[in-house]
Amino acid sequence: MEIWVDGSSDSKRAAWAAMVKENGCEPQFVTGTGRDVPLCICDRWSMRQALIHLNPILAGRDSQSVIVVTDLESNVISPVDPRPFRWVWVPRWHPFIRKLDRMANKLRLSIPTNSERTF
């Protein structure tokens, strides 16, 4: 299983997108949103959120069979999850990362800011 993750934040609104690829299956896309995520921790926050969301799927797996792909080198050097996944770094211009980045940006921009809320 491969999990690819990327996130987007403007410090007020945040979103993440992940692609889960399993052998012989179509890729699945999962997303999530948040608020008040500083830019400096957006990618690590995104990775944590995706792994929390995917935890039911990951619970029954051998962690060595899970590859987590990120465009942030610090996630590989110092993983956000203590399980011994195989962490892989790819450049931010990789086609899958770019697709996830566009998905996260689109989702983030769809979240109203506090001043845009109507009650």
8-17 pLDDT per residue, tens: 999 899 999 9
Chain CA centroid to CA 18, Å = 5
pTM above 0.85, yes or no: yes
Cβ-contact 22, 109 below 8 angstroms: no
Strand, helix or coil for residue 71: coil
Cβ proximity of 82 and 58 under 8 Å: no
- What are the backbone angles phi and psi of residue 118, rounded to the nearest 5°? -125, 135
pLDDT given for residue 115 in this prediction:
59
Residue 117 has pLDDT above 80, yes or no: no
Type of residue at 99: K
Tens-digit pLDDT profile for residues 62-102 = 888 999 999 999 889 999 998 889 999 999 999 999 999 99
Please spell the DSSP secondary structure of 25-62, one letter per residue: S--EEEEEEEES--GGGHHHHHHHHHHHHTHHHHTTS-
Q: pLDDT (tens digit, 9 = 90+) per residue, 18-71?
A: 999 998 899 999 999 999 999 999 999 999 999 999 999 898 888 889 999 999
- What letter would DSSP give residue 12? S
Per-domain boundaries in the chain:
2-113
Sheet of 28-35: strands edge to edge? 28-35, 13-21, 2-9, 67-70, 86-89
108 has pLDDT over 90: yes
Homologous superfamily assigned to 2-113? Ribonuclease H-like superfamily/Ribonuclease H (3.30.420.10)
pLDDT of residue 50: 96
